[in-house]
Structure 1
Amino acid sequence: MSVQLSNRICLSLLNNGCRSLSLFSNSSPSNWSKVVSDAEKIVGYPTSFMSLRCLLSDELSNVAMQARKLVGTKHPLLNTARGFVYDSRNNLQMRGLVVLLMSKAAGPNTAAEACLQQDMVSGIYPSQRNLAEITELIHTAFLVHRGIVNLKEWTNSDGPLKDMQFGNKMAVLSGDFLLANACTGLAQLNNTKVVELLSSAIGDLVQGIYYENSIQGEENNMTDDIKIASWEEQAFLSHGALLAKSCRATLELAKHDVEAQALAFQYGKHMSLGHKLNSDLQPFLKDSSSDAVPFSLNLAPVVLHQETIGREGWTHQIDQARPKGRQADYAKLWRAIKAGKGVSSAIDLCCYHGNKALEAIKRFPPSEARSALENIAFAVTKF
């Protein structure tokens, strides 16, 4: 789909009040499932269960047996484990699918085929399929690590303290096991540039999550004056670096030139940022403030709203929504943000990143894989 058409649709959404729901929400799983199903047919690989080969190993099977102790608690490791099998909202396996599609969209490098010594299957080299699995393992490892509970905030309703402590130990060990398997597979690719790219992506994830954790305890208090540039930088570290660098790495495995690798990187980067903006917009696409629930003050629409009205105006709105000694009125704050330009600016920014992803992928030769990547990038800007 053309960038111009995408822009027109985004403008139409703004004029209609942005009332439709995200493609990534549970309200429209059939559309998203079709995008994924069509893409999987193109790459000839059912990525919906890409991580299960490692997850069903003897070591993690033993961990799964022990996980039964967490049943009845609110430990997030249980929800993370359920998501490995089926999660229509977050689509845990999409990173690997995008890497495979990028591999096929770029195609073989005829000039370097002699030195690759690999036979392509469905237009993808075996090393590129291995990289897609490694990307998923890294992502899954960090998802598991994020499921560690802050025991300082533990309450009796969460579950017995000893079970929550046990769940934390399992989250650490399971995440470490997956990450170790990913690093082993990475070394077996025998490509120092790819190792360097994925290693730096792991470092970016750590840095991004560290930043998230550092503000988590005060994310619903008055935070520092955050600019959208800082938000984008942090979002790239936490949500975009792994996909962007994996897209670049898969073209490095096929010995494509630096220009093609840069385009692949740009696609992964902008598609990830568009997806994060889509996710941040969800609390503000409801029809009324009665549906408003507590939300982070570090979401993109809030950051853009704060930039628009200035620090003084934002402080005044915070004080009005949160009188001293009383619980915060998120419905009031929600209405203030909806009345401003933060939401429309976030939609504009989401469309911008979606269009930049489309621009990058259109530089590749026309193919089914390229069309699938275009559909995925366009889906990110659908509300």
Structure 2
Amino acid sequence: MTSVTSLFSPVDADLGILANNLKQLIGAKHPILSAAAEHLFGAGGKRLRPAIVLLVARGTMLDQEITPRHRRLAEITEMIHTASLVHDDVLDESDTRRRVATVNSLFGNRIAVLAGDFLFAQSSWYLANLDNLEVVKLLSEVIRDFAEGEIQQSLNRFDTDISLESYLEKSYYKTASLMANSAKSAALLSDATNEITRDIYHYGRHFGLAFQIVDDILDFTASSDILGKPAGSDLASGNLTAPVLYAMEENPYITTLIEREFSEEGDLETAIALVKESEGIEKSRQLAAYHSCQAIEHLTTFKPSECSQALRDLAEYILHRMY
């Protein structure tokens, strides 16, 4: 199967420049923060979010070279994403992410929280220096959305009254907001038309929702080795995702198990099995496919190019991860 990074071929050289710049951008004077930054950005990763920014940049600047501000926006996007992961790992008490040791497991929670704060602050400083107020507002909103999403998730743990709409709202805050607003920002920096700028925001929004729904499906269908964490870990922590919400409608006993917070032996294993046996995973696949199709629909105003094609291919590719 095609790898996601092969879809980045129109911006491969740009991503190489980004990788070299990221560690330099941190510029932390304290050796612990420098070590944390080195660990974070040296760990690789798919660089999906900056790749989308760069594809939008090149797709809206077809007859011109992208600007240094486009490149800086892609770097800021990856810094914001990485900061959110550092804080996520502290909240989830995770020792590894994608089989790489987390900052909190290497340096402790205090340093991890400070490292995440530092990355948010540093990205905000570089953001301000883009000297584009609308882009500053959009990316500042993303940082606020991350906090809003984490608060919602924490408050709604084991809450069986949560609706699918609330789940999608939280998914927007935690995942889709960065993709939507950074993509829109790239179009703004290209002086794209209002129609294209609006459509690329909706591309990022629907892409991000599809991406998160697929991640939540994989929590039940993928192996622990692939996930880099125990399967069913979201459900174990009381985070009720689309497959669970659909399964609860079908089998009320799952609700009983969740409401007692898996306090009896075998509760969690039973709940995971019941979700897998239900239509919840298939309905979630349909929901992800809907948002992927919506993302592609919003690319119709883009001029045909290898970058716009790559954005379409990405929206289709994320669905293949479900199987």
- Normalising by structure 1, report the TM-score: 0.70
**Counterparts of residues 22-61 of structure 1 (less than 5 Å):** 31-36=3-8, 38-41=9-12, 43=14, 45-48=16-19, 51-55=22-26, 57-59=27-29, 61=31
Aligned to 1:351: 289
1:332 deviates by 2.3
Instruction: Spell out the pairing of 1:166-181 with structure 2 (5 A cutoff).
Output: 167-181=108-122
Alpha-carbon distance, 1:320 to partner = 10
CA-based RMSD of the aligned residues comes to 3.3
- Aligned pairs for 1:193-342 (under 5 A) are 193-215=134-156, 219=157, 222-285=158-221, 293-296=232-235, 297-309=239-251, 312-316=252-256, 322=262, 326-342=264-280
Q: 5+ residue gaps in structure 1?
A: 1-27, 68-79, 111-119, 154-162
Say whether the 8 Å CA contact 1:40–1:47 is kept in structure 2.
Answer: no
Match of 1:378 among 311, 316, 323: 316
Maintained 8 Å contact 1:141/1:178: yes
Structure 1 342/94 Cα, relative in aligned 2: closer, same or farther at 3 Å? same
Residue 253 of structure 1: how far off its partner (Å):
1.6
Residues 205 and 224 (structure 1), Cα distance of their counterparts in 2 relative to 1, 3 Å cut:
same
Aligned equivalents of 2:113 and 2:259: distance in 1? 39
Please report the TM-score for the alignment, with normalisation by the length of structure 2: 0.81
Q: Report the alpha carbon displacement of residue 339 of structure 1 after superposing the two structures with TM.
A: 2.3
8 Å contact kept, 1:43–1:101:
no
Q: 1:48 to 1:302 in 2, by over 3 A?
A: farther
1:208-256: CA deviations, max 9, x gaps?
11222334xxx4xx42312111100000001111110111111112222
Q: How far apart, CA to CA, are the structure 2 residues paired with 1:304 and 1:348?
A: 12
Provide the aligned length of Structure 1 versus Structure 2.
304
Deviations, residues 34-57 of structure 1 (Å, cap 9, x unaligned):
224x243375754455532224x2
Q: Distance in 2 between matches of 1:126 and 1:337?
A: 48
Query: Is the 2:195–2:301 contact (alpha carbons within 8 Å) kept by the matching residues of 1?
Result: no
**CA shift digits 1:177-223 (9 cap, x unpaired):** 222221111111111111111111111111111222334xxx4xx42
* Correspondence list, 1:65-214, <5 A: 82=39, 84-87=41-44, 91=46, 93-107=47-61, 120-121=64-65, 124-148=66-90, 167-214=108-155
Q: Find the aligned partners of 1:265 and 1:175 in 2 and give their Cα distance.
A: 26
State how far apart, in whole Å, the 2-side matches of 1:261 and 1:103 are.
11
Contiguous gaps of at least 5 residues in structure 2: 95-103, 224-229
State the match for 2:33 in structure 1: 63
- State the structure with more CA Rg: 1
* Structure 1 position 273, deviation (Å): 0.8
Asked whether the equivalents of residues 11 and 54 of structure 2 are also in contact (C-alpha less than 8 Å), the reply is no
Tell whether the 8 Å contact from 2:219 to 2:233 is kept in structure 1 after alignment.
Answer: no
